[in-house]
Structure 1
Amino acid sequence: MFVIFGAAGNVGRVSAAALRRAGCDVRAVVRSAEQGAVLEEIGCEIAIADLLDAASVARAIEGAYAVQILCPVPRADADPATTMRRMIDVSANVLRADPPQRVLALSDYGAEHPSGTGITTLFHTLEMRLAPIPAQLTFLRAAEHMHNWARILPVALARGVLPSLHHPLTKLFPTVAAEDVGLLAAELLLDERPAKEAPRVVSIEGETRVSALDLAHTLGALTHRQITAYEVPRGEWAAMLQGAGLGENHARLITDLYDAHNAGRIDVETGISERRFGSTALADVFAAILARVAATSTASAAAR
């Protein structure tokens, strides 16, 4: 049994579908029965779990051969770092008590740094807490997800301006499509190579690094509009993020992350031997996001 946490998410649902295509039994772990409906249609067993509840996590991994674990940063939380650390502790304790043969943790570029990287510091904690588990352990470190820009694209379309915390606008940085991460995760879970004592660390990013200017150009080309990239001044980051609905603590995690990004600390760890590259282009991801935005707008208009 392959157990996929976060199976309703952009990465998890791709992993679950790939494993089902490979003929594997898959238990899709989600937060609600509604989230599991589509996964059930492709033959997944559905488990409902709360990552803060050890008993539900233990039930989800019972009888597992392999587990793909994800501890997401909780968005609507007054103290997301503390809550995510609790999720990590719960998952690590349960996996240590009932270890499967294989564990793959979805991690982040820069997770080798113990401090000073904002959100990414939490993925360092995840890796450190999982490291002692007696299983064949893989950390899949992904670059910034292209889909993260989904929340900003409607604003960019409304104003003709794409705000960026990446400085300068010409700076190239790694990104990756969630679909490519999900497919690689499934591939690594199925990889039967002999186990090593140390965790296996694999990185993934897209074939081409991009800049904020590239993002704006791509969005403009897809929408046949003039979209200008805007370098948000450092002193305005916190206010902008809180104005978008994030709490003060969450905003601080993001500002610390982009400070680290702009200092060149969020990248492939020096000496990593396994680097992979996704094939999905930025334009394809943005086109899919725009299609969903248009469909949502159409549905909202029809409801009125």
Structure 2
Amino acid sequence: MFVIFGASGHVGQASATALRRAGHQVRAVVRDAAQTEALAAIGCEIALADLNDAESVARAIDGAQAVQWLCPVPRAHDDPAAAMRHIIDAGVDALRMTTPPRLLALSDYGAEHPDGTGITTLFHYLETQLLRNVASSLILLRAAEHMQNWARVLPVALGRGVLPSLHDPLDKLFPTVAAEDVGKLAAQLLLDEAPTRATPRVVSIEGKERVSALDVARTLAELSGRPVIAQRVPRDEWSAVLRGAGLGERHAQLIVDLYDAHNAGRIDVEANVSERRFGATTLRQVLEALLSRVGGMEAAAR
């Protein structure tokens, strides 16, 4: 039995689908019963779990030969860092109660840094807690920024013709990856018959080509047939822009700190440590899929 946490998200659903297609039993762990239809349709066993409750998480893990674990970012929480630490601590307690032979934790580029990286610091905490407390054969899958994150600014880009960016300068190339490629690689790693290791296996994944904010704007313009230009958000306006997008003050500060680290070149693959992998999905393919969804929603609203 393969247990996939966050199975209703882009990454988790890709992992669950790949494992089911390979003929394996999958227990898809979600927090909301409304998220289960697509997973049940591909033959997953469904488990509901409260990620803040170690016993609930342990029940979801029970009997697993391998677990794919994700700590979600609690967007609506007043203190997302404290909320993430609580989820991580509960998960670690559960993994000590019911230790699977193999564990893959989804992490981020930059997770090797103990501080100064905003929300990525929480993934350093996750990795550290697992290393200290869990005896499973451990895989740390560090992913670059997800291409799907640009969905958040598509309405502005298409409506105003301006793609706001915290990446500075606009022509700076940065690593990014399609979420489905992360999920597919995670499934491959869970199935890999590599021997048990005394140290964690650290694997990084990004797309084949690094991109810039200018590349994103240009691709959106080509796909949509509308003029779109990239625009740097001034540093002193970041927090206000993020709060205007619905983030609380503490969450906004975590993102500000993250992009300060990004622009300083600290959010990248850890040299000489990670096994490097590259996803096949291009930025153009991801943006095309996102635009088709936006078009569908616009048509439905008319």
TM-score range, shorter chain: over 0.9
| CA positional deviation for 1:298 | 2.2
Identity %: 67
The count of corresponding residues between Structure 1 and Structure 2 is: 301
Counterpart position of 2:220: 219
Counterpart position of 2:155: 154
**Aligned-partner Cα distance in 2 for 1:97–1:42:** 30
Query: SS of the counterpart of 2:96?
Result: helix
Matched, 1:241 2:247: no
After superposition, the C-alpha distances for 1:34-88 in whole angstroms (9 at most, x for unaligned) are: 2011101111000001211222211100111100000011001100000000000
Counterpart position of 2:288: 287
Counterpart position of 2:30: 30
Query: SS of the counterpart of 1:68?
Result: strand
Amino acid at match of 1:9: G
After superposition, the C-alpha distances for 1:131-160 in whole angstroms (9 at most, x for unaligned) are: 131111000000000001101011110110
Shift in CA distance, 255/273, structure 1 to aligned 2, threshold 3 Å: closer
Counterpart position of 2:187: 186
Counterpart position of 1:177: 178
Amino acid at match of 1:71: C
**Aligned-partner Cα distance in 2 for 1:48–1:300:** 33
Amino acid at match of 1:173: F
Matched, 1:199 2:200: yes
Query: SS of the counterpart of 2:272?
Result: coil
**Aligned-partner Cα distance in 2 for 1:81–1:138:** 23
Matched, 1:129 2:126: no
**Aligned-partner Cα distance in 2 for 1:166–1:248:** 20
**Aligned-partner Cα distance in 2 for 1:166–1:241:** 14
| CA positional deviation for 1:226 | 1.3
Moved more, 277-286 or 287-296: 287-296
Counterpart position of 1:72: 72
Query: SS of the counterpart of 1:47?
Result: strand
Contact 2:204 2:274 in 1 (8 A): no
Output aligned runs, 1:28-67, within 5 Å.
Answer: 28-67=28-67
Amino acid at match of 2:217: A
TM-score, normalised on structure 1?
Answer: 0.98
Query: SS of the counterpart of 1:229?
Result: strand
**Aligned-partner Cα distance in 1 for 2:34–2:77:** 22
TM-score, normalised on structure 2?
Answer: 0.98
Matched, 1:13 2:35: no
**Aligned-partner Cα distance in 2 for 1:196–1:257:** 32
Counterpart position of 2:272: 271
| CA positional deviation for 1:224 | 1.0
**Aligned-partner Cα distance in 1 for 2:274–2:131:** 18
5+ residue gaps in structure 2?
none
Amino acid at match of 2:23: G
Query: SS of the counterpart of 1:11?
Result: helix
Amino acid at match of 2:207: G
| CA positional deviation for 1:271 | 1.1
After superposition, the C-alpha distances for 1:259-283 in whole angstroms (9 at most, x for unaligned) are: 0000000000021241000010001
**Aligned-partner Cα distance in 1 for 2:270–2:264:** 14
List, as ranges, runs of 4+ consecutive aligned residues in structure 1 with deviation greater than 2 Å: 297-301
| CA RMSD, 1 decimal | 0.8
Amino acid at match of 1:274: E
Moved more, 289-298 or 2-11: 289-298
Moved more, 9-18 or 54-63: 54-63
5+ residue gaps in structure 1?
none
| CA positional deviation for 1:98 | 1.1
